[in-house]
Amino acid sequence: MNTSKTPITLLGLGDMGAALAHAWLAAGHPLTVWNRTPHKAEALVAKGAGAVGSAAEAVASAAGPVVLCLLDDDSVGSALDGADLAGKDLVNLTTGTPAQARKRALWAEERGARFLDGGIMAVPPMIGNRESGGYILYSGDGALFERHREALEAPAGADYVGADPGHAALYDIALLSAMTGMFAGITHAFALVHGEKDVDGSRFAALLAGWLGAMAGSAHGLAAQLESGDYTLGVHSNLAMMTAGNDTLLTTAREQAVDTRLLTPFMELMSRRVAQGHGDEGLAGTVGLLVDPAARG
Ligand SMILES: NC(=O)c1ccc[n+]([C@@H]2O[C@H](COP(=O)([O-])OP(=O)(O)OC[C@H]3O[C@@H](n4cnc5c(N)ncnc54)[C@H](OP(=O)(O)O)[C@@H]3O)[C@@H](O)[C@H]2O)c1
Output the domain CATH number for residue 44: 3.40.50.720
The residues, any chain, with a CB within 8 Å of residue 12's CB and separated by 6 or more, are 34, 35, 68, 69, 70, 71, 75, 79, 94
* Best probe residue, ligand 1, of 10, 11, 16, 73 (max atoms within 8 Å of C-beta): 16
Q: Ligand 1: which residues within 6 Å by Cβ? A: 12-17, 35-37, 40, 69-72, 75, 78-79, 94-95, 120, 123-124
Residue 1 lies in a domain: no
Q: Identify the domain boundary among 127, 145, 164.
A: 164
- Between 239-255 and 167-193, two packed helices, what is the crossing angle to 10 degrees? 50
Q: What is the pLDDT of residues 232-258, one digit of tens each?
A: 999 999 999 999 999 999 999 999 999
Q: What is the pLDDT of residues 128-162, one digit of tens each?
A: 999 999 999 999 999 999 999 999 999 999 999 99
Given a contact cutoff of 8 angstroms between Cβ atoms, the answer to whether 260 and 213 are in contact is no
46 and 126, same domain (yes or no) = yes
Q: Identify the domain boundary among 112, 132, 164.
A: 164
137 and 38, same domain (yes or no) = yes
Number of domains present in the structure of the chain: 2
Given a contact cutoff of 8 angstroms between Cβ atoms, the answer to whether 58 and 32 are in contact is yes
Instruction: Give the predicted TM-score (pTM) of the model.
Output: 0.95
Helix%, strand%, coil% for the chain, nearest 5: 55, 10, 35
What range does the domain containing 62 cover?
Answer: 8-164
Q: Identify the domain boundary among 113, 138, 164.
A: 164
122 and 256, same domain (yes or no) = no
* Best probe residue, ligand 1, of 71, 75, 138, 175 (max atoms within 8 Å of C-beta): 71
Ligand 1 centroid to Cα of residue 14, in Å, is: 5
* Best probe residue, ligand 1, of 20, 42, 67, 70 (max atoms within 8 Å of C-beta): 70
The residues, any chain, with a CB within 8 Å of residue 91's CB and separated by 6 or more, are 65, 66, 67, 68, 116, 118, 138, 144, 148, 152
